[in-house]
Each structure stands twice: as C-alpha cells, then as structure tokens.
C-alpha cells in the first residue's frame, strides 16, 4: 500500500450544507439586489440564492444564477424575477421550479429536473405561463399598453 488511505479518509472534506440555499449568483453586473422577506441583499458573485428570493436588477444590471439541479438562469437589465418555488432531490432528480418574471428579460437553460420530468420548470409572466421541456429559452415582459 503506497498511500495512507486512512489519512485520506480523515481529511476528506465536505462542504457544510445550507439546506435553504438552492442556487448561487455566478455573474453579477451593475445593480443587482436580492429581496428576501424584508431584507435587501446586494447580490455580489457568490451570494447564495434561496427559494422565494426576488432578484431585482437596475438599468445597468444583469445576474447569472446556477441552481442545484444545474438549471441556469440569467436576469437581464431592469428586470424583476421571483423564485416562487424551488425543490430538487439530488438522488431521484425529482423537483419543481416555479418562477415569475414580472418585468424585463430572462434567459435560461433547464437542468436535471426537466430532463427527468418535462414541465417541472414553469415561468410565469403577468398574463401567461410557460412550461419548459428543455433546454434553452428566453422570455421578455413588455410594459403593459397605456390605457
């Protein structure tokens, strides 16, 4: 035996688990804020994202988020995107991702949960709902016409 296996076992590192975190901000340009309940968090790269967070970007803002099922979502400038629901089982790949784009633009690539269960990812806009069967798509919400 050429390597001290037991030592390797002892130093085996594992990341602390934060069960509430469902994603991570990987890209953040300009003004990006996460609204979490009454909290307003500046969403720098590395900020964890939780289910029920609302991502709000300024006119110069854009944010890219990776989710635990490998879904990728980017929120464009002057946008509001709410994560209404996010659940993912890393063993069975079963899950549910519901988000609402109430303003602005969004691009996304679906992940493992949609691969496992088509339309388990849904994106709402104020007047429509979209089911995702895969994989890459964009959504834009326009200003309602003046009445």
Partner 1 sequence: MGRLAAVLLAAALAAGCASQPVTPALFAVLPAPDGHIGTIVVDHDGDRRLIHSAYGSEQLRADGTLEAGQLSEAQVKQFDATLAALPAPPATFILYFLEDSDELTDASQRELEQMFAEIRRRPLPDIVVIGHTDTIGARRYNDHLSLARAERVREMLIEHGIPPERIQARGRGERELLVPTPDQVREPRNRRVEINVR
Residue 100 Ramachandran class (φ > 0 left, ψ -120 to 50 alpha, else beta)? beta
CB of 140 to partner 1, least distance (A): 4
Work out the angle at residue 92's Cα, subtended by the Cα atoms of residues 16 and 101, and round it to the nearest 5 degrees: 80
Q: What's the CA gap between 83 and 100, in Å, rounded?
A: 7
Contact 141, 102 (CB under 8 A): yes
Q: Which two tokens stand for residue 34?
A: 């996460």
Q: Examine residue 74 and tell whether it contacts partner 1 (CB under 8 A).
A: yes
Contacts of 70 (CB under 8 A, 6+ apart): 111, 112
Residue 34 or 132 having the CB closest to partner 1: 132
Instruction: Count residues binding partner 1 (CB under 8 A).
Output: 58
Query: Binding to partner 1 by residue 87, rule CB under 8 A?
Result: no
Tokens of 107: 């691009």
Binding span for partner 1 by CB under 8 A among 35-43, 65-73, 91-99: 65-73
- Tell which one of 72, 83, 88, 99 touches partner 1 (CB under 8 A): 72
By CB under 8 A, tell whether 126 contacts partner 1: yes
- For the chain, the C-alpha Rg in angstroms (whole number) is 18
CB of 134 to partner 1, least distance (A): 4
Site residues for partner 1 per CB under 8 A: 2-3, 5-6, 8-9, 11-15, 24, 26-27, 29, 45-46, 62-66, 70, 72-77, 79, 105-110, 119, 125-142, 144-145, 147
């Amino acid at each position: 035996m050429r390597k001290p296996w037991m030592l390797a076992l002892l130093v085996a590192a594992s990341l602390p688990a934060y069960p509430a975190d469902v994603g991570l901000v990987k890209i953040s340009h300009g003004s990006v804020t996460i609204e979490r309940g009454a909290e307003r968090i500046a969403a720098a790269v590395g900020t964890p994202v939780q289910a029920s967070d609302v991502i709000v970007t300024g006119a110069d803002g854009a944010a890219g988020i990776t989710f635990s099922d490998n879904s990728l979502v980017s929120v464009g400038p002057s946008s509001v995107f709410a994560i209404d629901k996010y659940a993912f089982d890393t063993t069975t790949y079963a899950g549910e991702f519901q988000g609402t784009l109430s303003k602005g633009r969004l691009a996304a690539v679906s992940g493992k949960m949609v691969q496992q269960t088509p339309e388990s990812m849904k994106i709402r806009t104020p007047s429509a709902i979209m089911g995702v069967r895969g994989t890459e798509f964009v959504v834009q919400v326009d200003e309602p016409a003046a009445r």
